Structure 1
């Protein structure tokens, strides 16, 4: 994360902005500080009176302490590295700011909802104030995709996936969107009604219309890629067309809003789902053993469901149901 040029500078700006003009007055909880205690150090240098830096991994916590000790420009005791999960810890005081970069490929994947709900109740002075959090909100966007390598995963390989999704690089052009992305999760950390454990529908069923412009552009992109792989022209045209006019499943990726004005944004993909470099991957959930033919104007209706665990150690589970309505329907 330290070297992520899209994410880290935005977090640094958000932290400095939050402490500007209030040097020596505010305290911060840094959940998941990591081995570099990166944001804890940024906050201390920005004027935090005290930073409680929490890290569950023992090795990472030890490295964080060592990195804090090396920071000779910070007064000893300003940053306190604490090993463990926040749900099992107590702090000697409530804090003004909670910085939590615990966001998965699907925003809720790393149990940020349970973690933040617990922080609201036990750690924050003003839990309903959006300025108490960095990020302010985290979101998940989704879109139907064609996936050029899907045929390679046809049965019996498909069964070996066991229902587990794929995780691909955000720059992987074998994955192409069939429609503009839509918001499927919007988690505001200051929300006093964050969902509790159990079944959660973050959004009603979402409908995507397969875009003719995207199908055309995807076909060209696949065709060019196949020619580079030295496939014969006629075959490349056929495979590119079939791939571009197919539905493999749903892609998901996160977006973070770091400040209350909505000016500091971390995009793991472009605003319209464009490929770009990112620390995060794109999650691709294959919805059928083999690609399903679609055409421009087809409607793909998706109903996502989330099962939030009882605590932060219990993995979040997701289920998807999809229905395709062809153009003639």
Structure 2
């Protein structure tokens, strides 16, 4: 399966009452949960690893994950509270205020040897659970255990208002990036971590450290990717009616991992030899899925049956299907 490890929380989305007062609606979210939900809705066997509370909000998270087809066998349930995030928009970009001290997600621990990573196609990590200890070190230990057996995917998904020591945080994110086969971040994350927009030089440095693929998403300005052998690939953002961008990057990440698995390029050796054409198809598929998420309120990635069959046909091209199990047939979109 594809396994996502990290935050699962409740986003309080802004709304208005009937008499015009401000209100907030609780919506299940969290970057790593959104990545898992995306992969599962697109048909890939998917699991979530991390801490989920047994409180009311934790049950909302578990129900949402399971309805989307996410396997929770690797999740740890505890009575600690659920992380809460209040969302507000500035110039169309979501900004967050977090309540995350002592939560189930932050108290999660990893037990070495608990997972046979030879059975995992890819492990994804990132976001709020990497900001503070002990969850960050626990996750890094897990990545070290996994890297020799499976593909590691990393998205820092920075939340500046949670960061108390920026230099320490940036060094920590570099530690994860240097261990990852796939590194993806938004241009906003890049600017926060490194300053400026010299994406190409940083991509080259990350590939020198061991990454096979580095991806920078830039919203409506498209996506750029760098690969050791396939070179640079640029993909335009498809036109879409944007409701909000909450979860768009997570949908891109999950869709990309699912696409790489679908064309049998998810394993480290297979990823290292992906062609330029295959990478372009995978990135195009991911951008299309993210555009669907932008067309809906909150982090609500598409189900497989909502996507046009032509999108899957374009993705698959002439690539061989995974040998471990038959490819799911595409369904006509609605």
Instruction: Please report the TM-score for the alignment, with normalisation by the length of structure 2.
Output: 0.30
Instruction: Please report the TM-score for the alignment, with normalisation by the length of structure 1.
Output: 0.30
Larger relative contact order, structure 1 or 2 (CA cutoff 8 Å, min sep 6):
1
